[in-house]
Amino acid sequence: MATERYNAREAEARWQKAWTDNEVFKTRNEDPRAKYYVLEMFPYPSGRIHIGHVRNYSMGDVVARFKRAKGFNVLHPMGWDAFGMPAENAAMKNKVHPKAWTYENIATMRGQLQSMGLSLDWAREFATCDVAYYKRQQRLFLDFLAAGLVDRKKSKVNWDPVDMTVLANEQVIDGRGWRSGALVEQRELTQWFLKITDYAEDLLTALDGLDKWPEKVRLMQKNWIGKSEGLRVRFEVAGNAAPAGERSIEVFTTRPDTLFGMSFLALSPDHPVSKALAAENADLAAFVEECHRMGTSVAVLETAEKKGYDTGLRVKHPFTEETYPVYVANFVLMDYGTGAIFGCPAHDQRDLDFARRYDLSVTPVVLPDGADPAAFTVGDVAYTDDGTIFNSDFLDGRSVPDAKQAVAAALESRTIDGKPVATRQVNYRLRDWGISRQRYWGCPIPIIHCDDCGVVPVPVKDLPVALPDDVEFDRPGNPLDRHPTWRHVACPSCGKPARRETDTMDTFVDSSWYFARFTAPDAEDPTIPAMADAWLPVDQYIGGIEHAILHLLYSRFFTRAMKATGHLSLDEPFRGLFTQGMVTHETYQDASGAWVSPADVKVEMVDGIRRATLVTTGEPVTIGPVEKMSKSKLNVVDPNDIIETYGADAARWFVLSDSPPERDVEWTDAGAQGTARFLQRVWRLVSESAEIVGTATTSPDPSPAALAIRKAAHKALAAVDENLEGLRFNVALAKIYELVNVLGSAFANDRARFDADASFQAAFREGLEILVQIVAPMTPHLAEECWSALGNTGLVAMTPWPTLEPALLVEDEITLPVQVNGKKRADVTVPRDADAASVEAAVMQIDAVLKALEGKAPKKIIVVPQRIVNVVA
């Protein structure tokens, strides 16, 4: 029978319309069924979607469609993370307004997502740059402020002295501003902070309850919060050299046990003592300035060569009374602990690097187990493992934890100037969240500065503080600062002329509560608490691993802060988390060094070497490393080509097949054609057999051939169910291939049976229906077309998941591999419930086993039921 090829383009448009017309994906709050909230991290509207988006949203859509078929009331919304720097960069480069640029991109990308056939409730869509959204965000800020969760303090930014503007870390390249090329300086600004550290302990302990999160993400967050129990120790300054009369310098240490291995004290360049000394010492001031030119990025500070400046100040060891030098060092962070450390080079690599550079003493005080105390020395590698304390007076012979206790006990009872020398302290690495950004395209912070009243919150009734549209990007800096009228406003408190805050919020704020707003996107308040509580937490959140720490931690904090201010009543926003791998691609550069898009490059093998040329001119192109797809390197692949050539289903199937979803994949479109062929094969199988199988229903007494078909179908059903539940899409797809292979070869080779055996016909129809239903989450359009070809009138999208018959999964006989000494030598087929003794007897009959035993009697025989037999000789 001749069947037309499946025309994806035509069919996809038709079924998308059917779904829309039937409002299949519109979520009703009042639906009484159990809720399921599936959410993919919303995209930044950069212009067009790329393959990474297709991968992310295909996964989420499979979950949404699967859970819908399983009888859940599914919430699956979409929005836009629409504030951020690229819009301002585009404005500067192309003279287009950030707002226009952003909304145009959103329109384009919405169209692209819709062409993918995603089962989204578009009625709930919003962009974070919508005034309606950020108005509520300003309200949250004010509530947080009232609840004491907002702070205002000084912190450092990267300052470009030529462009006179603040730079993001990304915009600092090798210590210089990306546009001006000027050496970047650190500057202190008074900025707004959210007090995430108030929740440090809670954010840490609650990680244990997030059992549906990847272990690695919980670990990363745990390390990020960085709880440590240590000691603040004050070192007495020798003589009277301290600049402002300080008699002591306080350090924080988690290794008080190594106090006798001390060889120096190091201060952050931003430490008050460093600053005071620098004021009187030009050399030190120059050094501090050099430190400040490294920018604010921790990664840069930590990878820079360890450098220091000897202040001439000396401190006394609390036990030995010996004096040690005080350095200002570039690797000591002011934000952590007290901004000062004591250096024990033998047992800390950074301290060791520093000590070697400045020729300071290295005294080991922790002895590895079994080492000779007289012979143990430290070379260029610090010893950071456990051991026994030595070279340490009264601590000698103690364990590391014991020594920590002993030092704390000895020092906390002593005093300098009436204050204890040491206090025990729990310390967190986590810092408060600085949300101030000196930029236009973000949510304005709703604050007014009045000369008389100080910092005054904008009254709720005056919200929103909307961004002015009439701004220019002809020069660097924040256009809000130089706007002629916007910042001038009457003080809400006293009515006198005052100034608006011109800082806008970090875009991480926008993405820290959008999942809650989706539960009531039109509400006057930020949320409708009952609605948020009903839908949240998100049951399955899906997004890139690159957000494992910041976005997810901020969202967890925000949820707690929203609870504290009455906007919802839960702590954890995401019950299940799945972090997908990234899509990478080769990079290409032309002769001038400019990045070239893969679409413009032709790659071929010449004499066994891969060569790349420009499609247009044939000019040679340099093949660069494989990197995460990014606009700046142009190595993005636009999925439109695949969608237009093979259809959305093919694109969806393709990105889900083969690679495990959590793993990074290097993009190659070599398999796209294979995918399209497979989908045609499914269509051919269903459409050609539809007529033959008619409307036969399951027969109670199937023939062996019919039973085989039924077993294959139900096995596939069970496997797909289990693997979709576990988000192992690639494995689920492999099981579908297997079913198609079984049905396909039965149809091709067993055609006569359809007429002769009614139970076979019925089993085959059941197999086809199961096939169509289990491919539906991945290839929903094709599934609808097949469903209809089988004579069904409803939509697959509204059809419940098929019911599994577990009896069909059970085999009467099983074949076990037989090993001799761990090497496979034979197989043995036994009844499913055979006991160990009968299996052993059967195994000892096998020639191959006896041969492998070489006449020896087995020492023991291990029978793992349903699994394996191992004969140990």
Tell me which of 245, 418, 700, 822 binds RNA, using CB under 7 A: 822
181 C-beta neighbours (distance < 10 Å), count? 12
Q: Which residues pair with 212 in a beta bridge?
A: 576
Q: Which range, of 129-137, 236-244, 796-804, 861-869, touches RNA by CB under 7 A?
A: 861-869
Considering the rule CB under 7 A, would residue 33 count as an interface residue with RNA?
Answer: no
Q: Do the Cβ atoms of 613 and 574 come closer than 8 Å?
A: no
Q: Pairing between strand 165-167 and 419-420?
A: unpaired
Considering the rule CB under 7 A, would residue 738 count as an interface residue with RNA?
Answer: yes
Cα separation, 681 vs 489, in Å, equals 68
Considering the rule CB under 7 A, would residue 426 count as an interface residue with RNA?
Answer: no
List CB contacts of 735: < 8 A, sequence separation 6 or more. 715, 716, 719, 720, 723
Considering the rule CB under 7 A, would residue 628 count as an interface residue with RNA?
Answer: yes
Can you say whether the dihedral through the CA atoms of 167, 171, 174, 177 is positive or negative?
Answer: negative
Considering the rule CB under 7 A, would residue 745 count as an interface residue with RNA?
Answer: yes
Identity at 809, one-letter amino acid code: L
For the window 598-627, what string marks contact with RNA as x by the rule CB under 7 A? ---------------------------xxx
Residues counted in the chain = 873
Cα separation, 337 vs 425, in Å, equals 10
Q: Do the Cβ atoms of 591 and 619 come closer than 8 Å?
A: yes
| Exposed/middle/buried for residue 764 (C-beta within 10 Å: 0-12, 13-18, 19+) | buried
Site for RNA in 47-86 (CB under 7 A): 81, 83-86
Nearer to RNA, 341 or 411 (CB): 341
Give start and end residues of each alpha helix (H) in 147-182. Answer: none
Of 401, 444, 45, the residue nearest 231 (C-alpha):
401
- The nearest distance, CB 729 to RNA, in angstroms, is 10
Tell me which of 20, 223, 622, 829 binds RNA, using CB under 7 A: 223
Nearer to RNA, 317 or 431 (CB): 431
Sheet strand arrangement including 577-580: 73-75, 35-40, 540-544, 577-580
Q: Which range, of 106-114, 294-302, 494-502, 799-807, touches RNA by CB under 7 A?
A: 294-302
Considering the rule CB under 7 A, would residue 824 count as an interface residue with RNA?
Answer: yes
Considering the rule CB under 7 A, would residue 830 count as an interface residue with RNA?
Answer: no
Considering the rule CB under 7 A, would residue 549 count as an interface residue with RNA?
Answer: yes
Residue 705 CA, chain-centre distance (Å), reads 48
Site for RNA in 201-220 (CB under 7 A): 215-216, 219-220
Q: Take residue 373 and report the two structure tokens written for it.
A: 């105390």
Q: Do the Cβ atoms of 260 and 320 come closer than 8 Å?
A: yes
Q: Which range, of 114-122, 177-185, 223-231, 470-478, touches RNA by CB under 7 A?
A: 223-231
- The nearest distance, CB 873 to RNA, in angstroms, is 9
Considering the rule CB under 7 A, would residue 349 count as an interface residue with RNA?
Answer: yes
- The nearest distance, CB 128 to RNA, in angstroms, is 9
Distances (CA, A) of 59 to 40, 85, 620, 724, 729: 9, 28, 38, 10, 8
Tell me which of 453, 696, 731, 842 binds RNA, using CB under 7 A: 731
Nearer to RNA, 296 or 788 (CB): 296
Considering the rule CB under 7 A, would residue 507 count as an interface residue with RNA?
Answer: yes
- The nearest distance, CB 630 to RNA, in angstroms, is 8
Cα separation, 160 vs 183, in Å, equals 7
For 602, list phi and psi in degrees, rounded to 5.
-110, 125
Cα separation, 486 vs 264, in Å, equals 53
Cα separation, 155 vs 853, in Å, equals 75
Nearer to RNA, 499 or 728 (CB): 728
519 C-beta neighbours (distance < 10 Å), count? 26
Considering the rule CB under 7 A, would residue 669 count as an interface residue with RNA?
Answer: no
Considering the rule CB under 7 A, would residue 658 count as an interface residue with RNA?
Answer: yes
Cα separation, 107 vs 849, in Å, equals 69
Site for RNA in 449-488 (CB under 7 A): none
Nearer to RNA, 60 or 84 (CB): 84
- The nearest distance, CB 853 to RNA, in angstroms, is 13
For the window 778-817, what string marks contact with RNA as x by the rule CB under 7 A? -------------------------------------x-x
Tell me which of 71, 148, 454, 671 binds RNA, using CB under 7 A: 671
Site for RNA in 142-161 (CB under 7 A): 157-158
Tell me which of 680, 699, 703, 799 binds RNA, using CB under 7 A: 680
464: preceding bond cis by omega (within 30 degrees): yes
Cα separation, 255 vs 258, in Å, equals 6
Considering the rule CB under 7 A, would residue 44 count as an interface residue with RNA?
Answer: yes
- The nearest distance, CB 673 to RNA, in angstroms, is 5
Tell me which of 250, 708, 728, 804 binds RNA, using CB under 7 A: 728
For the window 300-329, what string marks contact with RNA as x by the rule CB under 7 A? --xx--------------------------
Binders of RNA: how many residues, by CB under 7 A?
A: 101
Q: What angle do CA 506, 225, 546 make, to 5 degrees?
A: 55
Cα separation, 708 vs 759, in Å, equals 11
Tell me which of 140, 408, 498, 545 binds RNA, using CB under 7 A: 545
Considering the rule CB under 7 A, would residue 673 count as an interface residue with RNA?
Answer: yes
Tell me which of 2, 375, 670, 752 binds RNA, using CB under 7 A: 670
Of 412, 385, 386, 383, the residue nearest 398 (C-alpha):
386
Considering the rule CB under 7 A, would residue 125 count as an interface residue with RNA?
Answer: no
Cα separation, 341 vs 315, in Å, equals 12
- The nearest distance, CB 550 to RNA, in angstroms, is 5
Tell me which of 440, 678, 760, 764 binds RNA, using CB under 7 A: 678
838-843's contacts with Cβ under 8 Å and 24+ in sequence apart are 839/863, 839/869, 840/869, 843/818, 843/869, 843/871
Cα separation, 725 vs 72, in Å, equals 13
Q: What angle do CA 168, 171, 175 make, to 5 degrees?
A: 105
The DSSP code for 538 is: B
Nearer to RNA, 450 or 709 (CB): 709
Considering the rule CB under 7 A, would residue 530 count as an interface residue with RNA?
Answer: no
Considering the rule CB under 7 A, would residue 550 count as an interface residue with RNA?
Answer: yes
Tell me which of 311, 504, 519, 657 binds RNA, using CB under 7 A: 657
Nearer to RNA, 430 or 643 (CB): 430
Q: Which range, of 16-24, 134-142, 604-612, 677-685, touches RNA by CB under 7 A?
A: 677-685
Q: Which range, of 67-75, 450-458, 724-732, 763-771, touches RNA by CB under 7 A?
A: 724-732
Cα separation, 464 vs 443, in Å, equals 10
| Exposed/middle/buried for residue 382 (C-beta within 10 Å: 0-12, 13-18, 19+) | buried
Q: Which range, of 258-266, 476-484, 664-672, 834-842, touches RNA by CB under 7 A?
A: 664-672
Q: Do the Cβ atoms of 50 and 87 come closer than 8 Å?
A: no
Tell me which of 10, 170, 644, 725 binds RNA, using CB under 7 A: 170
- The nearest distance, CB 695 to RNA, in angstroms, is 26
Tell me which of 39, 109, 113, 167 binds RNA, using CB under 7 A: 167
Considering the rule CB under 7 A, would residue 184 count as an interface residue with RNA?
Answer: no
Considering the rule CB under 7 A, would residue 501 count as an interface residue with RNA?
Answer: no
List CB contacts of 250: < 8 A, sequence separation 6 or more. 232, 233, 234, 235, 338, 340
Tell me which of 95, 663, 751, 832 binds RNA, using CB under 7 A: 663
